[in-house]
Amino acid sequence: MHTSVVLLNGPKDLKVETLPLTQPGPKDLVVRIAHSGISTGTEKLFWSGQMPPFPGMGYPLVPGYEAAGEVVEAGSETGFRPGEWVFVPGANCYEGAFGLFGGAAHMLVTDAERVTRIDAGLGAQGALLALAATARHALAGMDKTVPDLIVGHGVLGRLLARLTVAAGAPAPTVWEVNPDRATGAEGYQVIHPDTDERRDYRAIYDASGNGGLLNDLVGRIAKGGEIVLAGFYTQPLQFAFPPAFMKEARFRVAAEWERADLAATRALVETGALSLDGLITHQAPAADAPAAYATAFEDPNCLKMILNWEQAA
């Protein structure tokens, strides 16, 4: 089998090309992808050439770990059947290219253990499940404090805020410096940081990926407060020790989601407790991927770009 894929041959060298797929086995699914999302975090770093050394990285690379589509073939040991819709967090199934992510393709082969069943009615929003699970992972678990301040009103920041409200916690404050991104709040307030005089936040979640904010954030927490690093940071992080010492500051790094986060997030979406509305601002045919990736990474008004694969060969 061959399929159309987004192929990143090097920094800013991205094309739609055809690659052969590996042969599926009894534990594998063949999935026809309908929608794939473009990550403005890790994928942008590969696209720009700024990604630090990372296990399994290299070019040429098929990007994408946010994909949703229909099962067209199901191995005898999968427990799936053709026609079911699934979320796929990427796949390593291509001959001649790294599949560190591997979800930006018309067809892919994946171990059934990696996918999650979803409602076909989600449409393009089905590709957002990984981002929602990432936000849930940052919030969930023992001894974790929900945010009362979130830095950044991109997709991750919005999901963190929506999940906080859905959990019944007090509505968080959200910082955003781009006035075009300050809109769209649902049950919480978005303000410019310059207008915020608070210095007693218990838990600040940084969804901006801007490590240069650390000193300011330390000054904003109450004594014993926590700063959660929920973004992805390419440069070494540093902060002035004396203020952190005086605050007895705590720092936590939020890792990527786990399978339990996907299941919990899917349930929240299906019951209506978590809305994914208003997060997708741009869509493009997969054939227009080069321009779509540039828009996703360079247009500050683009919250989430989705590639549509229905017409792909």
Check residue 137 and give left, alpha or beta (phi > 0: left; psi -120 to 50: alpha): alpha
Q: What is the pLDDT of residue 142?
A: 65
Q: What is the pLDDT of residue 313?
A: 62
Q: What is the pLDDT of residue 256?
A: 85
Same domain for 101 and 156, yes or no, is no
Rounded average pLDDT per 10-residue block, the chain, 313 residues: 94 95 97 96 85 77 95 97 96 87 95 95 96 95 88 97 96 96 95 97 96 97 97 89 97 91 94 96 97 94 95 70
Radius of gyration (Cα) for the chain, nearest Å? 20
CATH number of the domain where residue 247 is located: 3.40.50.720
Q: What is the pLDDT of residue 48?
A: 87
Same domain for 110 and 142, yes or no, is no
Q: What is the pLDDT of residue 240?
A: 97
Same domain for 36 and 76, yes or no, is yes
Same domain for 93 and 164, yes or no, is no
Domain assignment present for residue 264? The answer is no
**Total number of domains constituting the chain:** 2
Domain assignment present for residue 129? The answer is no
Q: What is the pLDDT of residue 204?
A: 98
CATH number of the domain where residue 41 is located: 3.90.180.10
Domain assignment present for residue 265? The answer is no
Same domain for 249 and 140, yes or no, is yes
Q: What is the pLDDT of residue 40?
A: 87
Quote the domain boundaries for residue 57. 2-117+281-308
Domain assignment present for residue 106? The answer is yes
Q: What is the pLDDT of residue 234?
A: 80
Same domain for 70 and 150, yes or no, is no
